[in-house]
Amino acid sequence: MTLTSPHLGSSAEWTDARLLYALEEVVEKELNRHLKVTKDWMPHEYVPWSDGRNFPGFFEDGEAWDPKQSKVTEIGKIALVVNLLTEDNLPSYHHEIASLFGRDGAWGTWVHRWTAEEGRHGIVMRDYLLASRAVDPDKLEQFRMSHMSEGFESDNRHSMLHSVAYVAFQELATRISHRNTGHQSGDPVCDRMLARIATDENLHMVFYRNLLGAAFELAPDLTMMAVRDVVVNFRMPGHGMPGFERAAAQMAIGEIYNMRIHHDDVLQPVLRFLKVLQIEGLGPEGLQAQDELGLYMNGLDSEASKFDEKLAARKARMAARAAG
């Protein structure tokens, strides 16, 4: 089955302003759908407050943090810090999308609603980490200050279409990262909390994915080029945080987020749902972008297979050492 999109006007005719106006009705429709299916929840209900106790400082009975105080696995701790620091940059993310999408009408309502929902994620994760003593609280705050002091600039801030394409994939990537972190955390309380966050992220993905689908109908060539650019150059928003490269490598080995997961669970589902590689009626630029996207996905699949082999070999070596 193929999806045929109308070739409406030349790429040069579609400015960001025109696209924002043309997609306003879709945003309103998706916003109303989102508000019907989403459920408000209380961050404090997911935090094990009874596990908490004072830290040293102003309290005479304060107890110093010790790694042995938490049941969370080492890979769980690493991923939790990365995920929380990513959520911490919400003020910068809000500034980016509010500047790009605007603060009025359906776009503005969505921007503020999205920000409010995302705010819960950082609240509940930090409260959980401190109450359960999963990570060093001093280092966590030092990392937060360092990361936020650097600010954040999106790779896709130059284009409304690139930004919509990016968040369609990024929201799903965040959902997968949170969900896998919960599974690997070793703590059912943590798993339940991250499952709740992941539900939000999935609904956010659906909003942007459907918006991206509407963009394909309006401006297929431009949207295809934007998707091609975003997929080929994709980076998670936390890439600038302290020690991100090392943490990302550990999360890849720990099967929280790696090339195979990125290909199979993030890129493919969105591309498949929108039938991006089957869209017809494209102009020369759109066709080229579609071909390049297909080639990139094939190459990524091959690279992911190589990673799978290395990971399997590593597991075999570790199992042999344990048995010996």
Q: Is residue 217 part of a domain?
A: yes
- pLDDT tens sequence across 151-204: 777 777 788 899 999 999 999 999 999 999 999 999 999 999 999 999 999 999
Domain count, the chain: 1
Average pLDDT over residues 278-286: 94
Q: Is residue 202 part of a domain?
A: yes
Higher-confidence residue of 149 and 269: namely 269
Q: Is residue 279 part of a domain?
A: yes
How far apart CA 150 and CA 244 sit, in angstroms, is: 14
Query: Domain with 222 in it: what CATH number?
Result: 1.10.620.20
Higher-confidence residue of 270 and 62: namely 270
Range of the domain at 102: 16-48+64-323
Q: Is residue 59 part of a domain?
A: no
pLDDT of 303 above 80: yes
Which amino acid belongs to residue 68? K
pLDDT for 59: 87
pLDDT for 221: 95
pLDDT for 12: 54
Q: How many other CB atoms are there within 10 angstroms of residue 285's CB atom?
A: 15
pLDDT for 285: 95
Q: Is residue 170 part of a domain?
A: yes
Lowest mean pLDDT among 3-7, 128-132, 168-172: 3-7
Q: Is residue 10 part of a domain?
A: no
Q: Is residue 196 part of a domain?
A: yes
Average pLDDT, the chain: 91
pLDDT for 5: 40
Q: Is residue 288 part of a domain?
A: yes
pLDDT for 4: 38
pLDDT of 2 above 60: no
Helix, strand or coil, per DSSP, at residue 297: helix
pLDDT of 118 above 70: yes
DSSP letter for 15, please. Answer: -
- pLDDT tens sequence across 309-323: 999 988 888 888 887
The secondary element (H helix, E strand) that includes residue 4 is: strand 3-4
- pLDDT tens sequence across 182-196: 999 999 999 999 999
pLDDT for 238: 74
Closest CA to 270 of 159, 154, 167, 156: 167
